Amino acid sequence: MISTGIVGASGYTGVELMRLLSGHPIFNLEVIQAHSHAGDSVGSVYPSLALIYPGLHYEPIKLDKLSSLDCLFLALPHGQSQELVSELVSLDTWHGVIVDLSADFRLKEPSDYEVWYAKAHIASYLLDRFVYGLPELYRASLKAAKLIAAPGCYPTASILALYPFIEEGILDKKSIIVDAASGISGAGSGANDTTHFARADEDFTAYGSPTHRHTPEIDQVLEATITFTPHLAPMSRGILATCYADMVQDMDSELAIQLLRDFYMGSPFVSIVDGFPHTKSVLGSNSAHLSARVDSRTGRLVSMCAIDNLVKGASGQAIQCANIAFGIAEDKGLPKAGIFP
């Protein structure tokens, strides 16, 4: 068994990690730490997990309880992983794998953190040591990786939809537009004026454009300059990314879908659908459903991807990366089937 811990286990991604790890045959969750709920049992905070972790309690964040673990998932807010990772990797006793779910180690240029996060990176010397944790693109680099930066939910959906066409030189990289809608859980567990029920129910709104913090992450992987507009949808989970770009090579819809099938052949969590992807179809799963269309009238490609933002967009993908890093089957312990109805 692989001894495992979660820091930041009281938020949505931490709770989702606990749910998914409960069914994993190899990762054994031993330690959960958080800034809040120290001393509380998991079941008292999240009754949905009461029967799975009857004896597990939240602990305050302390390095000495983490240093002997084989695998550590960090589900902390952006900006809080930098110091913790820096301290851990400096310990002689630390020999494990860290999978960070925040944005703290996703960008390669330290200056990008000052521009997009308005704060200097305090552990920039570690940026080059992190592997970007999108298995469908970086599977080989993840094998035996020790430091992994799990992608954001919006970048995961957008990159999966666009990368195969970028790789084939099909698209004008300066023409890309990403419209993506996310469920409210993407905003985290802390309620605010935007996300409480009376505001979000029966509403659909754009936000964060054109300065959303996931923009440079998508740019970096695609080596492109995108226009990104996220939207808040009145649902708990799910992301649908609809991506548009001018084509520099001729292609029809049938060829576009076939290109996706060829590119993702062998990727156990990617399904290429002939129809249109639905967020309901991937609910609760680590799957990504993709499709594409060519608008021959305008010469533009439309590529779409649906994921569960808390699973393939966060916690499930983090476990997928850890599976690969430890030499475990990539799909071990992770659901492929969505919950329906």
CB 247 within 8 A of CB 300: yes
CB 240 within 8 A of CB 304: yes
Q: Would you mind telling me the total number of residues written for the chain in this entry?
A: 341
For the stretch 41-47, contacts whose Cβ atoms lie closer than 8 Å and that sit 24 or more positions apart, written own/partner, are 42/18, 45/10, 46/15, 46/18
Cα–Cα distance, 94 to 230 (Å, whole number): 38
- 153 classed as catalytic: yes
Q: Which of 71, 153, 243, 321 is catalytic?
A: 153
Output the DSSP codes for 64-99: GGTTT-SEEEE-PPTTSHHHHHHHHHT-TT--SEEE
How many angstroms separate the Cα of 126 from the Cα of each of 83, 94, 147? 11, 15, 9
Helix (H) or strand (E) holding 304: strand 300-307
Is residue 296 classed as helix, strand or coil in its secondary structure? coil
Contacts of 185 (CB under 8 A, 6+ apart): 12, 236, 237, 309, 310
How many angstroms separate the Cα of 208 from the Cα of each of 135, 211, 232, 335? 27, 6, 10, 31
Q: Which residues does residue 340 pair with via DSSP β-bridges, in sequence order?
A: none
Tell me the catalytic residues.
153
